[in-house]
Structure 1
Amino acid sequence: MDLEINRQALIPVVQQIVSAVAEWIRESGVSPGTRLPSIRQLAHDNLLSQSSVIEAFERMVADGLLASRHGSVFFVAAQPPADSPATECQWHEGAEQDWGAFTDGPLGELKLGCGWLPDSWRENDDISYAIREITRTDIAGVFNYSTPLGLPVLREQLFKRLTQIQVAASADRILTTQGASHAHDLLIRTLLKAGDTVVIESPGYANLYRLLAFHGVKLLEVPRTRSGPDLQALEALLAIHHPRCLFINSLYHNPTGTSLSLAVAERLLHLARTRDFLIIEEDVYGDLQHASCTRLAALSHDERVIYVASFSKTLSSALRVGYLTASAAIIAQLVKVKTLTGMGTSRFAEAVVATLLANGTYRKWVQRLRRRLSAEMAATLQVLEDEEWEVFAVPAGGMFLWARPGVGDRSQLPAQARRCGVLLSSGSLFSPTGEHSDWQRINVAYAGDRRAQALFKAMGPSGSTSTSLKTTKM
């Protein structure tokens, strides 16, 4: 078997062996069970080291192309059925109701309503560099359990970040988590029990609704306005109920893109003190900030606010690194639950994030990301205005718009989206009760695509006749 290995090529020799043997199997038409030449013979005939051939064969066993016996005899494996699925469905909000709605179909549908950045926006070289640094300097340490609170070097970096945004904390009051959803789960397990009542925003984060319901917690719905929760509706609820917590997404709210005003924030804190409830403030989009903003955790709150953040939206959803800060008493309880339910968090993932924070890479990345999202936001708002779509509010930043067609028959939007090759995120997904809504979450990072542009125009005045509707009054 002549493998024709090119030792001057940039492709590693082992990978060349894998490719050459796989091609030989395809072109020769050999039957499953055919025995390959011995490792010694193949190495001798092609002037290769036996270790390179062994590594290549082991890779092919892992890929299902080869099978082995006794660890040294290799055969062509039985090939999988031609119609076996090549990819798995990708998770998304509401996946349990409509699994696969955000996976690429035959037409490569555009995920206009998704909650993450496009793969093409990722700067993988920076993460790769951080991984190389970790494996070079601490290869033994990253495979151990992390400490109960989380990797100390990461918590020191997080403390510095919190100080910069005026959130009072200390390294021993910061707990790392596997993203914001893990933080929410720990808080619900620790602070709530089945039958307890909490206040949630509507529209809001669908996965939080389901997580609370899973734990048997009762939800009180308060509308989200341009400046935060509807205070009049909230105070009416508080006059009747005694909720344990209020869950709020202060900055660049998912899905409306709105941010909390100072007046609303101060009133919320007053209500938390007088009505005796905690506020769990999620800030997963806060790093996209490029203007003045209001965070509850940055105001005087008498330890009434638990602050939750994550790097999943801005850096990588695969790393699953988030964190929270709370009172010392609550942190002590959370540590026990975190250790009991998951034996801690990934030391490796936390080391990657700590490296990116320490060397300034993450700061530079989010600066570029803010500029890019800002440009896409402005462009998308202009297109929606031209096509007379109704926008709930003009966000100060972030990646989301909450909008709907302002002319014509809105009930035709889903069918028109399918014709344009666009996958939407239904407005009903962001309601605690699943109530129908013709509002749509639009991720501006995807809105410049020709398929999104075609949809905006198809549902604009060129597709129907009506008077223009301006920004909604709420």
Structure 2
Amino acid sequence: MDLGIDRQALVPVVQQIVSAVAAWIREGGVSPGTRLPSIRQLARDNLLSQSNVIEACERMVAQGLLASRQGSGFFVAEQPAASDPQHECQWYEGAEQGWGSFTDNPLGELTLGCGWLPDTWRESDDISYAIREVTRTNTAGLFSYSTPLGLPALREQLLKRLTHIHIGTSADRILTTQGASHAQDLLIRTLLKAGDRVVVESPGYGNLYRLLAFHGVTLLEVPRTRGGPDIPALEMLLRVHRPKCLFINSLYHNPTGTSLSLAVAERLLQLAQAQDFFIIEEDVYGDLQHATCTRLSALPHKDRVIYVSSFSKTLSSALRVGYLTASTAIIEQLVKVKTLTGIGTSRFAEAVVATLLANGTYRKWVQRLRKRLSTEMAMTLQVLEDEEWEVFAVPAGGMFLWVRPGVGNCLQWQDKARKLGVLLSPGSLFSPTGEHNDWLRINVAYACDQRALALFKAMGPARSTSTVLKATGM
């Protein structure tokens, strides 16, 4: 069996073995009970160590792809009956608009504009190891609620991380949450009431818009430029409306991929002090940074900035671990709301993340992730340039591009994409009013898939869908 191992790839060898065997089972229609070649043979034929092959096979046993029989090797496992898709719904951005229609991908289309990493990129072994380590050494109270502020061991690690990126705080000013969305919800409940006005960036994160609207908060939109919020437009909004808060992405903005310039950051802090409003800075993609970047929280701000982040985008959305840091007075209020609305966060999940931070695993993983995303970003930008797509800005890092094709309109693009097996994230999802526009969010981690490449070509100038379908054999 030729596993096609690429030793120059950024994907670990063990993960490549898993993917190759899974593809062999899936695409070859291999029957349950079929015996795999021996560990020795697989290792010899593919110039691999037997330990790597054994580790990959054991991982596939855990995943239910293979079964192990003592003294007989590994066999293709019986696959469970397919679940009813109506009961296996996956969240995606924009699903909230339908309230209940949380799956719109029955044919397995490529989610080119989604906000997370592909499952094949994740290194589940590191998380599995951390889980085993936590359950082995920290059994006392492990499955109870965490402390009101969050697990002390995790907050200690978070303090080190925040210090490393020049955000001055202390452990008693750090609050853990169930992801960044939970942090935002706590802040909205604590700082705002129905009828209050806030400023949001446009384009921006659609789920935040809907969360604010759910709480009866009025949204004032300020255009996002390549260097941050449009300052003249913001100054006009401040003079007329006196908003309570500004919600902002400083680094690798969702969806444009842009980062805050120092000049804009300094002016924002001046305005926050003069006009008496808080800035809520979400930084869930900040760990992906390559170059020196500007965070509002890292500048002198006299407690005007509240910093929010999480590990959902870079590590695992399933763990649901996020955090924020704010003034002591605000933290005291947030603890009360957190306890009232959810009692507490998961001690177990927080212990797993604390372990990954403490043993250096997370740092090494993020370094590999940055390198891989940088490669995918460069390749995607080159393809888009070749096909004459417009790019809003060339990001310094992260995973998003804000782009639009050279021809056609939004409805035509959606139709072409579905015919090519691709789901798009149109600009309307990132507008506070849901207004249609010509822009699309692209996640570069998915952009080198053959379906995406066919789409980029199809939506280039002077090309028809039929031409591209014929060229790709579809």
Pairwise same-fold verdict (TM > 0.5): yes
**What are the equivalent positions in structure 2 for 1:324-473 lying under 5 Å apart?**
324-409=324-409, 411-461=411-461, 463=463
Question: Contact between 1:143 and 1:347, CA under 8 Å: does it hold in 2?
Answer: yes
Counterparts in 2 of 1:383 and 1:391: CA distance versus 1, 3 Å: same
Deviates more, 1:349-358 or 1:87-96: 87-96
SS at match of 2:241: coil
Corresponding residue for residue 232 of structure 2: 232
Amino acid at match of 2:306: I
Name the CA distance, whole Å, in 2 between partners of 1:93 and 1:340: 28
Which residues of structure 1 form unaligned runs of 5+?
A: 20-62, 66-79, 465-474
Query: How far did 1:105 drift?
Result: 2.4
Name the CA distance, whole Å, in 2 between partners of 1:460 and 1:83: 39
Name the CA distance, whole Å, in 1 between partners of 2:297 and 2:373: 25
**What are the equivalent positions in structure 2 for 1:156-305 lying under 5 Å apart?**
156-305=156-305
Cα deviation, 1:189-223, whole Å, max 9, x if unaligned, reads: 00111111110001000110011011111111100
Query: How far did 1:87 drift?
Result: 5.4
Query: How far did 1:406 drift?
Result: 1.8
Name the CA distance, whole Å, in 1 between partners of 2:317 and 2:296: 25
Deviates more, 1:399-408 or 1:246-255: 399-408
Question: Contact between 2:407 and 2:462, CA under 8 Å: does it hold in 1?
Answer: no
Corresponding residue for residue 472 of structure 1: none
Amino acid at match of 1:239: R
Deviates more, 1:455-464 or 1:165-174: 455-464
Query: How far did 1:85 drift?
Result: 3.9
Amino acid at match of 1:251: L
Amino acid at match of 2:106: G
Name the CA distance, whole Å, in 2 between partners of 1:335 and 1:436: 39
Name the CA distance, whole Å, in 2 between partners of 1:84 and 1:177: 32
Which residues of structure 2 form unaligned runs of 5+?
A: 1-32, 40-53, 66-78, 465-474
Name the CA distance, whole Å, in 2 between partners of 1:102 and 1:386: 33
Amino acid at match of 1:252: Y
Amino acid at match of 2:232: Q
Name the CA distance, whole Å, in 1 between partners of 2:356 and 2:84: 39
Larger radius of gyration: 1
Aligned-residue identity in percent = 77
SS at match of 1:142: coil
Answer yes or no: is 1:127 the counterpart of 2:158. Answer: no
SS at match of 1:149: coil
Corresponding residue for residue 105 of structure 1: 106
Question: Contact between 2:265 and 2:296, CA under 8 Å: does it hold in 1?
Answer: yes
How much is the aligned-residue C-alpha RMSD, in angstroms? 2.7
Counterparts in 2 of 1:83 and 1:179: CA distance versus 1, 3 Å: closer
Question: Contact between 2:409 and 2:438, CA under 8 Å: does it hold in 1?
Answer: no
Question: Contact between 1:90 and 1:100, CA under 8 Å: does it hold in 2?
Answer: no
Query: How far did 1:88 drift?
Result: 1.2
Counterparts in 2 of 1:429 and 1:410: CA distance versus 1, 3 Å: closer
Amino acid at match of 2:328: A
Name the CA distance, whole Å, in 2 between partners of 1:141 and 1:193: 37
Cα deviation, 1:275-331, whole Å, max 9, x if unaligned, reads: 000000000000000101000000000000000000000000000000000000000
Question: Contact between 1:149 and 1:174, CA under 8 Å: does it hold in 2?
Answer: yes
Amino acid at match of 1:234: L
Query: How far did 1:426 drift?
Result: 1.6
**What are the equivalent positions in structure 2 for 1:47-66 lying under 5 Å apart?**
none
Query: How far did 1:96 drift?
Result: 2.2
Corresponding residue for residue 143 of structure 1: 143
Cα deviation, 1:86-136, whole Å, max 9, x if unaligned, reads: 751100111122565765423x20000100000000000000000000010
Amino acid at match of 1:383: V
Amino acid at match of 2:425: S
Name the CA distance, whole Å, in 1 between partners of 2:191 and 2:125: 40
Counterparts in 2 of 1:84 and 1:291: CA distance versus 1, 3 Å: closer
Amino acid at match of 2:252: Y
Amino acid at match of 1:279: I
Name the CA distance, whole Å, in 1 between partners of 2:410 and 2:424: 13
Name the CA distance, whole Å, in 2 between partners of 1:193 and 1:345: 24
SS at match of 2:142: helix
Cα deviation, 1:216-266, whole Å, max 9, x if unaligned, reads: 111111000000000010001111111110000110000000000000000
Question: Contact between 2:96 and 2:102, CA under 8 Å: does it hold in 1?
Answer: no
Question: Contact between 2:250 and 2:260, CA under 8 Å: does it hold in 1?
Answer: yes
